[in-house]
């Protein structure tokens, strides 16, 4: 079964450092998403991406965050200057998109720990 692949599985970084989280979405999917889950809390939407541009973003997705699809297969989330409160599990998801039942397939997540 096709799956969404995320790397790294766990990253530890110092506050203020830049972090890039990588995702390989399912190959025929057109919509890509980043979500995050702070330990013990709900899964929160960060950003959606379609046709090489951001289609929607949440209040969490401020200027410190950026997304990119650099080569047609990878989808990255960059946090420019990490804060302690950025510590969370970050999930990438993809879907065929469109209307109706938009089924998102999630990756296993990248755990980010900011010290």
From residue 73 to residue 112, the character string flagging contacts with another protein as x (rule: CB under 8 A) and all else as - is ------------------x-x-x-x-xxxxxxxxxxx---
How many residues make contact with another protein (CB under 8 A)?
Answer: 26
Least CB distance to another protein at residue 81 (A): 26
Q: In what order do the strands lie in the sheet with 65-68?
A: 5-7, 19-24, 75-79, 65-68
From residue 5 to residue 44, the character string flagging contacts with another protein as x (rule: CB under 8 A) and all else as - is --------------------------x-x-------xxxx
Q: Residue 84: phi, psi to the nearest 5?
A: -55, -40
Question: How many Å apart are CA 78 and CA 65, to the nearest integer?
Answer: 6
Q: Which residues pair with 33 in a beta bridge?
A: 48, 93
Query: Does the protein bind another protein through residue 4 (CB under 8 A)?
Result: yes
CA R_g for the chain: 13
Least CB distance to another protein at residue 27 (A): 17
Question: How many Å apart are CA 110 and CA 115, to the nearest integer?
Answer: 16
Q: Which residues bind another protein (CB under 8 A)?
A: 4, 31, 33, 41-45, 48, 55-56, 91, 93, 95, 97, 99-109
């Amino acid at each position: 079964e096709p799956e969404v692949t995320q790397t790294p599985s766990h990253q530890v970084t110092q506050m203020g450092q830049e972090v890039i989280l990588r995702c390989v979405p399912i190959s025929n999917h057109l919509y890509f998403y980043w979500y995050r889950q702070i330990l013990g809390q709900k899964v929160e939407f960060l950003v959606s991406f379609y046709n090489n541009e951001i289609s929607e973003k949440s209040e969490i997705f401020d200027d410190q965050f950026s997304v990119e699809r650099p080569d047609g297969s990878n989808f990255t989330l960059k946090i420019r200057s990490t804060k302690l409160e950025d510590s969370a599990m970050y999930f990438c998801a993809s879907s065929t998109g469109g209307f109706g039942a938009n089924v998102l397939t999630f990756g296993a997540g990248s755990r980010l720990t900011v010290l």
